[in-house]
Structure 1
Amino acid sequence: MTTTRGPYSKSARVRAAAIEAASEIFGNAGYRGATFKDVAAKLGMTHAGLTYYFADKDALLAAVLQERDSRVSQPGTSLPASMSRDDLIDYVMAMLAENIAHPGFAELHCVLSAEATADDHPAHEYFRDRYRNGRRLLEAALAEAAARGEIRSTPAPKHLAALLLGVLDGVQLQWLLDPNEVDLRETVRGFIADLLAPPEAK
């Protein structure tokens, strides 16, 4: 197997280390509470040295968000073309498993998504569009499941999609704050099993 050597290998390693450091710092202090110099210092670099790899803090934030998206797009976390009720539950649980495996990115999501409600935040459009796309995908899947009679038709799929995303974020926040008391996986599994119960179950 061929391995990359030389300056390209070093560049990739430094970029990866910078993204990891920025994820931790942004996750703890928020984007506005952290500086480009903070990330450089954590890496043992100068501000000027870090600009060789990332032009500024916004470019670094974009790289962090791209890395986060790549992690939540791992095999098993994508929506099937035609999703059954069981597929939907499995999909949600796969996403949770990825967050449990990488709690730093879950923390980053909680902090940055809250900050990004401000219109002038550089990640505002990213999170707005990410939630918008998530709602649309879930709405379509829920509408199909309801049409097949696999789940109740109320609440409406549009509202059910927003509710499901809200519950996921809310329980995840409680888990991050108190992991010994809040079982993220079982709490969500129990909730969605009831929320997406077949019509005859009620």
Structure 2
Amino acid sequence: MLRRVIYIFGSLIFAFSILGISLLRTSTPDFIFYQSSDTYSQKGFVSPVEYYLPHHGLLPDHPFWPIKALRDKVWVQLTRDPIKRAQLLLLFADKRISMAQELLQNGKGALGVSTAVKAEQYLKESFIQYQEAEKLGMDTADFLQKLTRASLKHREMLEEFKNIAPNDAKSVIVETLNTPKTLYEDTVHELIRKEIDVPSTTTRE
């Protein structure tokens, strides 16, 4: 009897794991690009603040990546505290923008761009969780400052991606840039409301 229960329980875990991995694959944006790339001649954005990205670990082309991605989603769902969830989402956003950089540098344009898009989705979700924490009256000042710096860093990296991404991928990157730009504006508004210093921006040739 016990053996039968263990067998059924194990089968259910396996089935839900396969389902979760399938859902992850369908929710990840897929792109197909040619690998040619020209130098992007427009002005680039330089983040005026220091912001260090965490080590990203496994890349999305690793065989065990679906398991890691599923773990991340479960981790987020199990984190009920809004500010902790916001911090977790920001961590995943930072890791994925770093992954995207390595993938693009290694000539994996489609996967690099889709990973960058996912990074900005996490970044946007992080701000949404910040707003939930604000509604609950939680202390969000430190996180808000970090999120503002992160938006500047993400924007800088996406601008750099335009130099190394396939030519037909650059329009996707330009569109994706709207996320950190908008997020910076939103967080600046919040910083001003809270009377906290705001990082400035600058450009280079």
TM-score category (smaller protein) = 0.3 to 0.5
TM-score, normalised via structure 1 length: 0.36
